[in-house]
Every structure is written in structure tokens, then in C-alpha cells.
């Protein structure tokens, strides 16, 4: 059964396959751009045509039918789309995040065959093996497997800020500060105080020093400094070792602890071409995600001194993170820290390729700072105001029948907090050929925007 809405000279038909079919509209490039422009300037999302039966744009000529594939309503991290799969004949390359990665066949096999026990009793051999290996990798006394990065950070912060009235200093772009519900304050009673993140993910150490509290009963007790490596919001920036070294000596002077949110620590190590222990020599603790670029389905690991990890074990339990036969998950983690880490340089190369491709496109539409692309995250800026960043993302994920490229690219519908910045991320479902396809799609969209801008100027006159 098909439902159809018509208005003036155009008709939209919703087929049972959820595919929108425009009839009575030319699919020549110019009219397709007009269609886009009209849709976007009216802020009509394709899905809303069905929901609200919005009148269709008026088109003057009647040639071939136009087919547009369905737009799913999606927020940054939601959406039913599967990564890199065919979607009604259109290949979808999903660049929203490296969290969308699915376990490799080898991981699934290792999970199926994992030896397990009750990890709350410390009896899961695979979890224990993972923790030992990770502790070595980190160059730290001990490690602990936790369900998520958020829990890893939270346990670490709580373990360090054991005393009531404690305060931590951290960057104002820190994941811990922005994306973890303020859990350290909400649940832990720890006071966060921010210092301004520089675009390179570091912060001014003078500012840090100026914010360390003196001993005064009016004031909280500064206890901890948190850094993030790679720095996500700053575009996957890798913290220089010299910065970490200076931070360490500052922390030592003031008897403070340093925690690294190393969700993407292995990306930082890969970019610097050093073992992670070389980065972590300046930190008291770290939390690293196994479930991002490393490809495990679930899990993070915390590293630190033995007594710190003992506190984290207690905290993990009260937070509900004590898992039983968790070896099934740790088995994937073991492959994540070996095979997963070994291939991260490919993600970095592909990110580089995409960044350079974007750099070569019309700078009145897109701009990118190539120096800022250091790992698997690419942030570029939409400087053209012909469309909003959200609309731009939508165009990347819309099949344009006027070109022969059967590829859609998914990037977050909601761009980063920065101006008109848009973030995309490479991961193990995107290979070198895909990177070229992504660029082709970008070119199609950028060209159609150039067409739109011209048309708009003409109509303005």
C-alpha cells in the first residue's frame, strides 16, 4: 500500500519499503539542487513529509521520477542504521563514531571459547589475563576491567578524591566535564573546576597553578588534575609528552594526582609511535576504552597503583559494575589491545586522506586545519551558510539520484559545540577505498551546494 500526498505539480509517494518517490519532478542536477534547497530552506526534513504531509516544493518541469532514500530521524549516537551496510541499494559509510564498531570474527570466536569464572570472586581467568596484560602495557602496578569508560573515569576520580570536600581540575572540553552527566559531582560529591582547553587539547599550566587552592577552611581541597588523551572535543588531539612531563612536575610540586581519560590512549600512542607506558609514566591513573577504535563490543580498563585499584574494585561494585563471567567480554578485550591496537595507524592514515581531500575542496564551503588532524577524528568547519551543519550532514546521508555514486555517509546530525564544526571518525569498518568514496560523496554535496549558492544569488536579484 502506498500513501501519497500531492501539492501543485509534485507528488510524493511513500512506498511500503519506506522509500520516498517523487514523481513529476525532474531529476536533472539543477532541479535536484532546487529540491534540496527548497527542502532545506523550509527546514523540511524528508521524514517530516510523511509525518506532517508538508506540501512539496513546486517544480516547473516534469521529467523522470526522483527517488530519495528514507531519512531516519537520528540523533548523534542513535539510529537503527547498521555500519557500512547496504541501505536500499545505497552503501552507508558510518562515520559518526568509533563506538559503532562491531567485534571482528576473531573476537566473536574468542568470546565463544573464553574460559570463564566468577570475576567478583576474582576467579575469571580471562579477565585476570586481560588485567595483567593491560597493567604491563600501561607500565602500572595493576589494572581493572570495568563495563564502560564513564565508570572507569568515575571510579578513578572517586578513588583519588577519597576525602570529602575534594576538588579536581580539568579542561572545560573534557569528556568527564561535558559528557558524563557531572557524575563526579552528582554521585561522588567531588567539585569540578575547569581550566580552558587550548585548541591542541592541552591547557595553560599557569592557569592550572593559579587555580590550585590554598589551605583555607573556606575552600575545597584540590586533589586531582584530569587530562584527556586523545582530546575528543578538540578533534582527537594528541597531548605532547613535553606537556605531560611539565604537568607531572607541577602536580608533584603541589602534591596532586594526575588522572588520564585515555579513552583513546592507544590512538595517542599510535600517533606518537611510543608504547602507552611512555605516556602514562606521567600519570597516576588512566581509564582506556576497549570498545572504541580498538573494536571490543564492551569494556574499559583502569590502570594505577595496587591500593588505587583496590579502591576501584570497591567502587565498581557499589556502582553495579561487578560482573560475573565477564571473561566472555575480556576475551574480546585481549584481541582489542593486540590486533585492535596494531591496526589503528590505518584509521589515522584514512583520517589523513579524508582531511586532505576536504582541504582540497572549495574553501568557501569547507575548511579544515590539517595540523589538527592527528588521530582518527576529523573536525572540519562548514563555512558556507547555504545550509546549516545539520542539513549538510543530512545531504551527506541522502542518496542523490543525479549522480552515479551509491554511497551515503553518516556523520553526527548534531555537530560539535564549536561554531559550525562537524566531526567524523574513522574506524575498522572504513578502509582506504571507503575513504575515497567518502571524499567522492563530499565532493557531490559540496558541488551541489555551490550550485545552490549560485541559484540563490540569481533568485535574489
Ligand X SMILES: *Cc1c(COP(=O)(O)O)cnc(C)c1O
Residue ranges that bind ligand X, judged by CB under 6 A: 148-150, 153, 175, 228, 232, 261, 263, 289, 291, 300
Cβ nearer to ligand X, comparing 57 with 236: 236
Shortest distance in whole angstroms from residue 150 CB to ligand X: 3
Of 39 and 294, CB closest to ligand X? 294
The distance of closest approach from Cβ of residue 289 to ligand X in the complex, given in angstroms and rounded to an integer, is 5
Alpha helices in 162-288 (DSSP H): 175-178, 183-186, 205-210, 241-253, 265-272, 276-280
What residues contact 452, with CB distance under 8 A and at least 6 apart?
33, 36, 37, 386, 387
Minimum CB distance to ligand X smaller for 77 or for 162:
77
**Least CB distance to ligand X at residue 183 (A):** 10
Three-state SS at 301:
strand
280 or 387: whose CB is closer to ligand X?
A: 280
**DSSP secondary structure string, 111-130?**
HHH-----GGGT--HHHHHH
CB of 344 to ligand X, least distance (A): 14
Nearer to ligand X, 84 or 300 (CB): 300
List of residues 6+ apart from 416 with CB closer than 8 A: 233, 379, 422, 423
CA separation, residue 395 to residues 43, 71, 89, 130, 407 (Å): 13, 10, 17, 43, 11
Taking the complex as a whole, how short is the minimal distance between the CB of residue 407 and ligand X, in angstroms? 27
Least Å from the CB of residue 265 to ligand X: 10
Residue 168 phi, psi dihedral angles, 5° rounding:
-120, 150
Looking at the Cβ atoms of 257 and 296, the one nearer to ligand X is 296
N residues, the chain: 461
Cα dist from 426 to 66, 236, 352, 387, 436, whole Å: 31, 11, 10, 24, 12
Residue 60 CB, nearest approach to ligand X (Å): 49
> What are the respective helix, strand and coil percentages of the chain, to the nearest 5?
40, 20, 40
- Taking the complex as a whole, the smallest distance from the CB of residue 49 to ligand X amounts, in Å, to 34
Residue closer to ligand X by CB (options 150, 384) is 150
- The least CB distance from residue 222 to ligand X, in Å, is 22
Nearer to ligand X, 25 or 107 (CB): 107
Q: How far apart are CA 405 and CA 91, in angstroms?
A: 9
Instruction: Check residue 88 and give left, alpha or beta (phi > 0: left; psi -120 to 50: alpha).
Output: left
Helices and strands in the chain, H and E counts: 17, 17
Residue closer to ligand X, measured from CB, 169 or 289: 289
Closer CB to ligand X, 142 or 239, in the complex: 239
CB 401 within 8 A of CB 25: no
Residue of minimal CB distance from ligand X?
A: 149
The least CB distance from residue 303 to ligand X, in Å, is 15
At 341, is the secondary structure helix, strand, or coil? helix
> How many CB atoms are located within 10 Å of the residue 452 CB?
21
Rounded Cα gap, residues 259 and 170, in angstroms: 10
Amino acid at each position: 500500500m502506498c500513501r501519497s500526498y500531492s501539492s501543485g505539480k509534485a507528488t510524493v509517494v511513500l512506498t511500503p519499503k519506506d522509500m520516498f518517490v517523487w514523481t513529476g519532478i525532474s531529476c536533472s542536477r539543477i532541479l535536484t539542487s532546487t529540491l534540496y534547497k527548497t527542502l532545506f530552506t523550509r527546514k523540511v526534513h524528508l521524514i517530516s513529509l510523511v509525518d506532517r504531509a508538508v506540501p512539496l516544493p513546486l517544480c516547473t518541469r516534469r521529467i523522470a521520477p526522483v527517488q530519495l532514500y528514507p531519512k531516519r530521524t537520528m540523533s548523534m549516537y542513535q539510529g537503527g542504521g547498521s555500519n557500512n551496510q547496504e541501505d536500499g541499494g545505497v552503501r552507508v559509510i558510518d562515520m559518526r563514531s568509533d563506538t559503532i564498531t562491531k567485534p571482528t570474527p576473531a573476537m566473536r570466536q574468542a568470546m565463544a571459547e573464553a574460559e570463564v569464572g566468577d570475576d567478583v570472586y576474582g576467579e575469571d581467568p580471562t579477565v585476570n589475563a586481560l588485567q595483567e596484560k593491560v597493567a604491563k602495557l600501561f607500565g602500572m602496578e595493576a589494572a581493572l576491567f570495568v563495563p564502560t569508560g564513564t565508570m572507569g573515569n568515575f571510579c578513578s576520580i572517586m578513588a583519588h578524591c577519597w576525602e570529602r570536600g575534594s576538588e579536581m581540575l580539568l579542561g572545560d572540553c573534557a569528556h568527564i566535564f561535558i559528557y558524563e552527566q557531572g557524575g563526579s559531582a552528582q554521585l561522588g560529591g567531588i567539585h569540578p573546576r575547569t581550566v580552558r582547553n587550548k585548541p591542541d587539547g592541552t591547557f595553560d599550566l599557569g592557569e592550572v597553578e593559579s587555580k590550585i587552592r590554598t589551605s583555607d577552611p573556606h575552600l575545597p581541597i584540590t586533589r586531582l588534575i584530569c587530562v584527556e588523551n586523545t582530546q575528543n572535543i578538540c578533534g582527537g588531539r594528541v597531548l605532547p609528552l613535553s606537556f605531560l612531563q611539565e604537568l607531572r612536575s607541577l602536580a608533584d610540586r603541589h602534591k596532586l594526582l594526575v588522572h588520564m581519560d585515555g579513552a583513546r590512549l592507544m590512538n595517542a600512542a599510535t600517533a606518537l609511535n611510543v608504547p602507552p607506558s611512555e605516556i602514562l609514566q606521567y600519570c597516576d591513573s588512566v581509564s582506556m576504552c576497549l570498545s572504541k577504535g580498538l573494536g571490543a563490543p564492551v569494556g574499559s580498563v583502569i590502570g594505577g597503583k595496587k591500593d588505587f585499584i583496590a579502591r576501584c574494585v570497591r567502587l565498581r561494585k557499589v556502582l553495579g559494575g561487578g560482573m560475573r563471567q565477564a571473561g566472555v567480554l575480556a576475551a574480546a578485550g585481549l584481541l582489542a589491545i593486540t590486533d585492535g591496537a596494531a591496526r589503528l595507524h590505518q584509521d589515522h592514515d584514512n583520517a589523513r586522506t579524508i582531511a586532505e581531500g576536504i582541504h582540497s575542496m572549495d574553501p568557501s564551503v569547507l575548511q579544515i586545519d590539517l595540523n589538527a588532524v592527528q588521530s582518527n577524528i576529523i573536525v572540519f568547519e562548514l563555512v558556507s551558510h547555504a545550509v546549516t551543519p545539520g542539513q549538510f550532514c543530512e545531504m551527506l546521508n541522502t542518496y542523490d539520484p543525479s549522480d552515479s555514486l551509491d554511497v551515503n555517509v553518516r556523520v553526527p546530525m548534531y555537530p560539535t559545540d564549536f561554531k559550525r564544526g562537524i566531526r567524523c571518525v574513522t574506524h575498522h569498518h572504513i578502509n582506504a577505498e571507503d575513504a575515497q568514496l567518502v571524499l567522492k560523496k563530499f565532493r557531490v554535496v559540496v558541488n551541489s551546494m555551490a550550485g545552490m549558492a549560485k541559484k540563490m544569488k540569481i533568485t535574489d536579484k
